[in-house]
Structure 1
């Protein structure tokens, strides 16, 4: 695998590190929690080799990108604004935007709010949800759930202390237990113990899709930055639901693609099955909904060739 060019740019008032490779139509790749541009390493290679200009940023709060101190600086509109301005800084007028996990929420939001700029969208793991006053935290509370990891992440400093106590062990646990290789209690959902990691195990040996070099890359970055930036995305969920009010009930008409692993525990969240079932209405431009059998949450890392092939089929047909 060739190494992409790393560069730091001034984007939307912050310094943003990007990984860039290739020439051609622009494709932006937005990572989720707790990841980095590096989670797209396989797709950067595959898409750039196929004639696309691929740019994967460290998102706001992560890696080599600035992490503002104020929690309020991580709303969905800030994150969408980062991608809008990144297109401008790159000297482009349009892009296809793709995202995984929290990055999918950003990608869907970017396509929803700026269809002039983002002419197609790919989401992974987290399906499109038209803006609604009932955010996921309210949905959990309405079901009498008070021990979900999304709720645990709300108090500043609590999850940081747990994850940063042993950063390498946290990374090993998360990547292993969030994958399709794990058959224990779902990694993402309700917490059977006192903390986020209590029910997760450090693997005796890494799954085949993950290497020690991968672990070292993630560990080195999160040891340096901590997890505060990424966790702050969760702490603006209610505020973001309010800010997205102008787009309530709106749908995405551009060409779209969704994929997830069948063993991704996020698919078991309240309302997620209903969101996927509503795609014919909310994503009238949908060109594929692919559930990859046996894959877990880290779908583009667990099934790189399959994900890249599906992305390229979609991109070439645009």
Structure 2
């Protein structure tokens, strides 16, 4: 599998960690207290390429994982292997292997944010602080998210991408038929540079890529070489594991009920873009920070980046680093 060779970035050291139930590839840089970075869909450790060196230079060990199903990590063939219980166990296993004698710090983006929120919620003794990019912490759910999107979209005949992802086979085939085109359209559709309306409104029964835009020139935050790396990773790994994360809403709901009433009792941080539909729950959350304060005891900042879309730390690396590094140093 190709390693990261873009000259403006230093290639990190890669390790494969036995996390217990899975082998997880980790990009590691620096020495000091451990910071585990967890990516979202459809990304990899590489989405943290702009953060590894600054975090390391601030005196920490920055460790960006490939979530199971991605890149150099294990890729189980069962949908249930991608439930929240399994993914939080992977994060805890990596943290324990890299820093066995002290709790780790967690930072996650997109799906990585719920993964780190719930890692800290389920194992508070293993983690000392947690930050989320794009997706706020909303506590233990009252019902599976699949019920919410069915009610809000599918039952009204509207397309919702997570409904499209439910059936094994067609979503993978669409993505894998043209990996580069899929990534370009998906990344562009919810980035801050895309005009309003780029993410198409369509009827239930459409496929994900119907009506999506492949821009003639991609925004500068993702270079052609950056895209090449992602294309190589997904061409090798396929999309079954990444998409199967969306097929576990009911399992996740059932597992999380045991933590009902528990708050995150540690320093937390939230960063999002005002053009990111995931930051406000696709319009369901009027004030992500106010919602978070109901479920955490020590929220040390809510940072909203004007004009930033969904790919927070890739679109605005300097601004994100200027938030994350002082937060880390202040812990």
> What's the TM-score once normalised by structure 1's chain length?
0.95
Where does 1:151-190 land on structure 2 (aligned, <5 Å)? 151-185=163-197, 187=199
CA–CA separation in structure 2 for the residues paired with 1:289 and 1:60: 29
CA–CA separation in structure 1 for the residues paired with 2:121 and 2:329: 22
Structure 2 CA distance for partners of 1:186 and 1:95, relative to 1, 3 Å? farther
Deviation at 1:50, TM superposition (A): 1.4
Cα deviations by residue, 1:282-315 (Å, 9 ceiling, x for unpaired): 1221000111000000010000011011001111
Q: 1:135: which partner in 2?
A: 144
Tell me the secondary structure at the aligned position of residue 266 of structure 2: coil
Cα deviations by residue, 1:101-133 (Å, 9 ceiling, x for unpaired): 000000100111111111100001111021123
Asked if structure 2 preserves the Cα contact closer than 8 Å seen for 1:185 and 1:199, the reply is no
Alignment pair present for 1:83 and 2:91: yes
Where does 1:282-293 land on structure 2 (aligned, <5 Å)? 282-293=295-306
> What's the TM-score once normalised by structure 2's chain length?
0.91
CA–CA separation in structure 2 for the residues paired with 1:186 and 1:282: 33
CA–CA separation in structure 2 for the residues paired with 1:24 and 1:119: 14
Alignment pair present for 1:5 and 2:13: yes
Deviation at 1:53, TM superposition (A): 0.2
Q: 2:4: which partner in 1?
A: none
Asked if structure 2 preserves the Cα contact closer than 8 Å seen for 1:60 and 1:229, the reply is yes
Q: Deviation above 4 Å: which 4+ runs of structure 1?
A: 189-193
Q: 2:5: which partner in 1?
A: none
Cα deviations by residue, 1:202-254 (Å, 9 ceiling, x for unpaired): 12112121111101000001011111111111101111101111012321121
Count of residues paired in the alignment: 317
Where does 1:51-200 land on structure 2 (aligned, <5 Å)? 51-92=59-100, 93-143=102-152, 145-146=154-155, 147-185=159-197, 187=199, 191-192=202-203, 194-200=206-212
CA–CA separation in structure 2 for the residues paired with 1:119 and 1:59: 21
Q: 1:212: which partner in 2?
A: 224
Alignment pair present for 1:251 and 2:263: yes
CA–CA separation in structure 2 for the residues paired with 1:66 and 1:190: 35
Deviation at 1:268, TM superposition (A): 4.7
Alignment pair present for 1:33 and 2:33: no
Asked if structure 1 preserves the Cα contact closer than 8 Å seen for 2:18 and 2:93, the reply is no
Q: Which shows bigger deviation, 100-109 or 135-144? A: 135-144
Deviation at 1:274, TM superposition (A): 6.0
Alignment pair present for 1:15 and 2:23: yes
Deviation at 1:270, TM superposition (A): 5.5
Structure 2 CA distance for partners of 1:290 and 1:118, relative to 1, 3 Å? same
Deviation at 1:278, TM superposition (A): 1.9
Tell me the secondary structure at the aligned position of residue 175 of structure 1: helix
CA–CA separation in structure 1 for the residues paired with 2:257 and 2:97: 28
Q: Which shows bigger deviation, 125-134 or 103-112? A: 125-134
Tell me the secondary structure at the aligned position of residue 108 of structure 2: strand
Q: 1:302: which partner in 2?
A: 315
Asked if structure 2 preserves the Cα contact closer than 8 Å seen for 1:80 and 1:109, the reply is yes
CA RMSD of aligned residues (A): 1.7
CA–CA separation in structure 2 for the residues paired with 1:89 and 1:98: 17
Unaligned runs of 5+ in 1: none
Deviation at 1:272, TM superposition (A): 3.4
